[in-house]
Amino acid sequence: MAVTIKDVAALAGVSPSTVSRTCKDNPSISKETKEKVRRAMQELGYEPNFQTGSPSGQGTRTIGIILPPSTREAYENPFYLEIIRGISQFCNGRQYISTIITGQNPEEILEAIQMMVRSSQVDSFIVLYSRQDDRIVDYLYNEGLLYVLIGKAHQYANQTIYIDNDNLLAGQEATEYLCNLGHKKIAYLGSESSLMFSADRKAGYQLALLKHGLTINPEFCIEVEEVSMDHYEPIQELLKQKGRPTAIVVSDDILAVSLEKVCIQYGLSIPEDLSIISFNDSLFARLTSPQLTSINVNSFQLGIEAASQIINHTENPNLLATKIIVPHSLVERSSCRRMM
């Protein structure tokens, strides 16, 4: 069996990312640590499969920002734009460069990352999403590359730096807000549960229903593959049900816009016939009529924290993996009403 970067790290008593940066002669690694890693590489017969660092020995100081695989939706979502704004602002202040990595599918993104790593253009990454069983995260971890996740880690959780909200609590609080307004038939509309944030928000929704003695109706839990404004059919099926919900927790403001459009088609008035609470408190929440009550997840701060951690771990490679929770808040507007 071929020797891996993790074998070298285990023998040298360092992290895989430290081995990776030693291979690139990164100046953030001390001379003593480099010598220890190189002895382990020599003992195991390990050959690095990418080029060493820049000729100047100063490292790239370039951070790759990885968007989720998407043909269109990710580029239209203000959530990602605000995170990128936070990352860019922090990087500019520390004289780091950030570059966007996109693709229509995981294979296309992975090829772009591998090309950047081979050519030493980028050696650390911020992944703007967290998904179960993600090939891209597998590659970053197995190659010993430094990366930070936006969202709770599913793979390698104890070794992964991640920045997140408490999405389970946020989902619970959003649902309890509707319960406290007297709603008993509350639905959930969200992204697929393979995305960690949506799985947690759905779990929080279910916990709140149980806490208030309400039944979890599987037909009231609707999941769609991507967050976009093109998901009308699942929403139509939900609103056509006999005994339809009087309120809906929606995992993203963009999905809430689709919901509002279907309500108009069906002659339903918001909030008189249906109360809506959504997430992200983006521009969409303020442009709709009525404006959406929404959970503000502080996207800009998520980006700042992610950039801070990636730079801190770049310059201090022996730090333990950090987990940071950014607080959320509920912004009340006009899309919810008390049941009479």
- Tens digits of residue pLDDT in 241-298: 889 999 999 999 999 998 999 999 999 999 999 999 999 999 999 999 899 999 999 9
Minimal CA–CA distance to 60: which of 323, 310, 309, 319? 310
Fold equal for 1-59 and 167-296: no
CATH code of the region 167-296 = 3.40.50.2300
Average pLDDT (197-219) is 96
Distance (Å, rounded) from C-alpha 220 to C-alpha 224? 13
Whether 205 shows a pLDDT value over 80: the answer reads: yes
C-alpha separations of 87 from 65, 98, 99, 205 in Å: 9, 8, 10, 30
- Could you read off the pLDDT of 6-54 as tens digits, one per residue? 888 888 888 777 887 788 777 667 888 888 888 988 888 887 764 444 4
What number does CATH give the domain 1-59?
1.10.260.40
The residues spanned by each domain of the chain are 1-59, 167-296
Report the first-to-last Cα separation within the chain, whole angstroms. 69
